[in-house]
Structure 1
Amino acid sequence: MPRPAQFAVFGHPIAHSLSPQIHQAFAQQFGIALEYRTIDAAPAAFADAVRRFFDDEDGRGANVTLPHKAAAFALAGERTQAAARVGTANVLTRLADGRIAAHNTDGAGMVRDLTDRHGIDLRGHDALMLGAGGAARGVAWSLLDAGVATLTIVNRSPEPADALADAIGEPSRVHTRYWEDLDNIGSYDLIVNATSAGTLGQSLTLPFSLAASRALCYDLGYGKSAIGFLAWAQAAGARYAYDGLGMLVETAADAFELWHGKRPDTEPVYRSLRARSV
């Protein structure tokens, strides 16, 4: 029998990833045979690992997560408009001519999770983004496209936050503040945790004053990595507190459609994963 088509997700760490389960579940909907695995690559080894996967292992497509999204964008020979706008990639696809194409579906997946699955209207929200790395870049433009009124970006190192705000180029809507000012910058009705703290097992100490009375708090991570932020959100009195499991499933569906030309039904897969995590 011929070897099934090869797919993977690159990250560091990556053993916790649910992506293999999600893509196998999608494949079952269409009777598609594929192999999908996790590949743990340290930053210095990432580019070589990607080339080996596509060139030597006949890889057809890969998802990319922390901390490689900027590096994935840099090594691609072709970039979609969405990837070019944010400067990062969460999906790589091998083209017919052997080049690698970069896509970014993070923002679209997050907005679809919030609006379609959870019924949230993002228009008019004053949003606070914690973090300014690849994950933050992936969703910042989409939040603005979805109609948030303002976006304030705060990062432990101020330079990446300033660079992201400059790249967006909407000074009337997008602002930056210092991490040290979190105690006195007021409250927000949408707070997005785009830091890597949870994934790296680090604590995230935040003042309760950040959360407005009807705040929506959203962690781009899921599972154990989101527990600390969601606990803070609930203690702060947020009305809604969601992790990024739905975003993960939605972005996986976008990648699956890119690779296979078929759009999977995300809801049964999301419900199955959510039931296991309760």
Structure 2
Amino acid sequence: KFYLADKMKLALSNVISTFIITRVLANSMFYGKTKYSTDEMKELGIYKSYKDLLLDLTGPRFNNSSIIQNLVSVFKAQCIPPQPPPQLSHRKVFVVIEGTHNSGRNNMLRRLAQTYQGYALQNPPRCLAHLKNSFFGTKFERKAYLSLCNYAMAFDIQSVWHLHPVFLSSYYYDHLSFNLAWGHDKPEDLPPVGSNIYNWPEDLLVPDLVVLLNAHRSIRNRISTTKDNYLFQRKIVTSFERFSDPPVLMVNATNFFEDSFYKIKNHMQKLWGYTMSINVPPPK
């Protein structure tokens, strides 16, 4: 005869076993893959175009999701500008600052913006930021929300980059690396270099430079980071090492803040001088 505690232990054991089997099957589907279909990417919360994202948001998967329906309505009403951005002959640079845990990303964002009299922006954008808490505790809904935030943020950037450089914290590579890290158990399981899953979305605004501030384990140990979190960060960094277009500047954030700042500053000035301006080719 089972007592209540025994029944609870058995139920918990069954749940854990089911979870492990599900993860193993999921990983076996994707392990070593180079080419992913649109549907396979959706299962990882990855979208390669606004069209694919919108089709999913308005399709069967989210038919009964009131928060997704509200998200789409707010995006269309408040995020899409009434007029397309003007064609420019030149503009200022657009730089994305990403970072692993406790890497000082936001401090770096503000410092660069102050140095170059630029805008320091953070995802999610203002038009969708008030919906952020609605997506805590969800899975596919939250990934879809973050994907739509990238497109909304692109509109914001194009409205100001003719005036000042734009420095943004958290963009597409950030979300892609997290989705890949959650979907694979070990760094070795991640898609190989050259996989189409690393491609930038065909219609999403491309930054001129992406920077990853990587705080190594010696820093994270000081804040009692667990081994599991360290493994997760390794998967994040491995993904960034495999991104190539746009390229990523890897910066060791274990160093002093000033060292990291000057490495980024010197790299930018080699690319664009002191003006931080880019000539825009005319449309074809």
Same-fold call, TM cutoff 0.5: no
TM-score category of the 2 structures, normalised to the smaller one? under 0.3
TM-score norm. by structure 1 comes to 0.27
Q: Kindly name which structure, 1 or 2, has the bigger radius of gyration based on alpha carbons.
A: 2
Between structures 1 and 2, the one with greater strand share: 1
